[in-house]
Amino acid sequence: MHRFEDARLLTGGGRYVEDVRPADALVMRVLRSPSAHGRISALAVEDARALPGVVAVLTAAELTDLGVGPMTALSPAANSDGSPMAEPRRPVLAEGEVKYVGQPVAAVFARTEAEAEDALEAILLDIDEMDSVTDPERAFDGTVQLWPQVPGNVAIDWDKGNRTETEAGFAKAAHVVELTVRHPRVAIQPIETRGCIGIHDADTGHYTLTTPSQGVMSLKGAMATYLGVASEKMRVVTEDVGGSFAVKIWPYPEQILVLVGSRVTGRPVAWQSSRTESFICDAMGRGRVDRAALALDPEGRFLAFKIDALADIGAYWNAVSPSIVTGGAVRTFGHCYRIPGMHYRVRGVFTNAMTTDAYRGAGKPESGGTLERLIDVAAERLGIDRMDLRRRNLITPDLLPYTTAMNETIDGGDFPNIFARIHEISEAEGIGRRKADSARVGRLRGFAIGTHMHATGGSVAERSEVRALPDGSVLVRTGTQDSGQGHRTALAMVAAETLEIPVERIRVEQGDSDFLTKGGGTGGSNLMPIAANTVHRTARHMLDKAKQVAGHLLEAAPADIEYGLGDFRIVGTDRRISLGDVAAGWDTIPPEQYDGDLGAGCVAQLDFEGLHTTFPNGSYAVEVEVDPDTGQVRIDRFSGVDDLGRVINEQTALGQLHGGIGQAIGEALMEAMVHDPESGQVLSGSLMDYALPRADDVPMLNLHWAPTDSPNSLIGAKGVGEVSSIGAPGVIVNAVLDALHPLGVEHLDIPLTPEKVWRAIHSARA
């Protein structure tokens, strides 16, 4: 079915944060550090405060006086020895020193954008430059020190896996393949930039933050903590969101500043990031260097796999970045392969750059891509067919449920079947002929097949409400938040199926912390495994409660009442009452007749229960053609088979896969944040310098389903949002390097830009 949201959004009916800006709102602009590292020797704002239209200017000193606290990580982690990770103080506005280009230093509040920009120009900011480092490998050598209390810039040293078994696997291996794989930082660029509106009610002391997000409850708690107020005095509202991919989940300094600015000025305050500003003030994705190794026995069976990683943290920890570089990286470590020994060690290092955090896949694209690259290199070095090497190491159905060395229990799947299907769908047997056809016209053709897996996650602090209304409609409230994925349609379909009523009668509300007092938000592809399952349970619970009311209205025992197709009926009779009439009838029951069974009427609230993890998985095949004269890579074919469990809405699921593949193409072939190694300046800080995939970079996609059940999902769905962004980058890279293999090129780090590919070709030929 078509999504409910589309007609409104496509005809200009969306309500984004800029659409709801109050008419009397002041404009906030932020003065940002032009230096990557340095001491603030002068900061004078008096001239700016005196300009026409300027209502206030805030610096760190004023925030201290107002009791605004520092920002802290929301999911801190410990080192392997149990000691706490290093977490330097992260001020909302810079205190004494700046640590990265773009760090907020002061905030201006003015009547108009022009007046706010003039005020920024009037602020005197002098910075005594210090040495900076933006490369995690250089940061790790400790030559440039960001924080005196963090030796070698190592923020955390963490590991997981069966180290003893892994070491034994390498010790007895017939073959060991080692490779360093770099996954650079990428900019997360949804079509709508970040923005926020802050309102403070001086009479009640209440704050309201309107901002695009992926869940209002976590922001509510964070804002209350940073402002030093009770959570009851904080409300967060999210209306429509123009894309996120995780970048809008987190609390940011600008959100705190609009709230404080409203408190200081007595006026609503609005801020909207420019596109260029987003390249220096938004959390970044990826940023990892994997020193990896794979151990194999004489028959090519995998014995052990390990990664010793450096993770680029940025200058400060972000909200959940500690969990992304640690646990997030290992949940699907080894993915669809049977590998007895696995070990992952990561040292997170501080660099003079904006923070990193989760981005579609959250640590899994790096781990999966590194393993898929190692397998191809191992096949080439050992003289084994790449597909056969994968096939002989897949986890087979008889081993399921399968507990990995990372203590994740894969609940279901049929990986050999999917691998056989992708081999057929992609016409793998004909690749030799197609390579010859390309060679005749001077092109290099490459082909690769890889496997992938996601472990759905996100917060389990989810609550759903289902309420039958007198007009026959049903209201569903959820703590999750869509940013374009069509959550309202998906949850309405689940509720309608459970209640056996037309989906058009379901209305889904989200995005207001006053609706529900609990909600985990969206993340980790958790809509179907967590929110939809909770809606399903809550709808059934509501029917149980409504049956009590129906029995009262029909003057029958609840045990004699049955429900179906939107009506309650007395068993064996034609007496019935609709769900809507039951909801209306609840209001006619005198309060003195209420009893414990009637409860609150036709409404139920339930929290998520059960195991939240499902394991969607699949296999992709990619075929590319490379122009050796320009280095340009063209993806000619992209085929896929995915096991998402039960697909509730095929159109939405395909859209999610398409988007993830598009982002994977960007990550593999185009995207990387580039900093000047000496000054720390951002060199790829606009869409003139940072390449994003366009429509003609994405081929026609040949995608198929191979569903299996998950015992962890009541409704059978496994989740989809991050599956293709996890699985596609590695196989794209392998296809390009297969094209270059005849020239002797074994490995290149992403992105595989035309220049990088051209240089590799000409260097090999020389």
3 state SS for 336-403? CECCCEEEEEEEEEECCCCCECCCCCCCHHHHHHHHHHHHHHHHHHHCCCHHHHHHCCECCHHHCCEE
Instruction: Please state the separation of Cα 417 from the chain's center in Å.
Output: 29
Report yes or no: 623 and 735 within 8 Å, Cβ to Cβ. yes
Check residue 598 and give its pLDDT.
56
Asked if 466 contacts 495 with a C-beta cutoff of 8 angstroms, the reply is: yes
What own/partner pairs with CB < 8 Å and gap ≥ 24 does 467-471 have?
467/542, 467/602, 467/603, 467/604, 468/542, 468/546, 468/579, 468/580, 468/582, 468/583, 468/602, 468/603, 469/580, 469/583, 470/580, 470/581, 470/583, 470/584, 470/587, 471/580
On the CB side of 389, how many CA atoms lie within 13 Å of its CA? 27
Q: What distance in Å separates the CA atoms of residue 214 and residue 236, rounded to the nearest whole number?
A: 11
Q: Could you check whether the bond before residue 70 is cis, i.e. omega within 30 degrees of 0? A: no
Beta strands in 533-646 (DSSP E): 561-564, 567-570, 576-578, 603-607, 617-626, 633-643
Q: What per-residue confidence (pLDDT) applies to 4?
A: 87
Cα(661)–Cα(681) distance, integer angstroms:
30
- Residues of the chain predicted below pLDDT 70: 592-599
* The pLDDT value given to residue 593: 67
Q: Quote the CA–CA distance of 563 and 576 in Å, as a whole number.
A: 9
Peptide bond into 91 cis (omega under 30): no
Q: Kindly report, residue by residue over 699-747, the tens digit of the pLDDT.
A: 999 999 999 988 888 999 999 999 999 999 999 999 999 999 999 999 9
Q: Residue 630 is encoded by which pair of tokens? A: 């320009």
With b meaning 16 or more CB within 10 Å and e meaning fewer, what string describes 314-331?
bbbbbbbbbbbbbbbbbb
Q: Are strands 444-453 and 617-626 parallel, antiparallel or unpaired?
A: antiparallel
SS3 of residue 675 by DSSP = strand
C-alpha to C-alpha distance for 289 and 351, rounded to whole angstroms: 14
pLDDT of residue 595: 61
List b or e across 110-125, with b for residues whose CB sees 16 or more CB atoms inside 10 angstroms: bbeeebbebbbebbeb
Shortest CA distance to 68 belongs to which of 224, 193, 245? 224
CB 272 within 8 A of CB 195: yes
pLDDT tens digits, residue range 571-619? 999 999 999 999 999 878 777 666 655 567 799 999 999 888 999 999 9
pLDDT at 327: 95
Residue 501 and residue 602 in contact, taking contact as beta carbons nearer than 8 Å: no
> What's the farthest any 2 CA atoms get from each other in the chain?
93
- Distance CA(110)–CA(686), nearest Å, equals 26
Burial of 20 (0-12, 13-18, 19+ CB in 10 A): middle
What interhelical angle do 650-669 and 723-740 show, nearest 10? Answer: 40
Which pLDDT value is given to residue 459? 84
Q: Is the Cβ–Cβ distance between 183 and 288 less than 8 Å?
A: yes
Structure tokens at 747: 């490995």
**How far apart are alpha carbons 29 and 274 in whole angstroms?**
10
Amino acid 520: pLDDT = 86
The confidence score (pLDDT) of residue 552 equals 87
* pTM of the predicted protein model: 0.96
| pLDDT confidence of residue 517 | 86
As a whole number of angstroms, the distance between CA 602 and CA 584 comes to 9
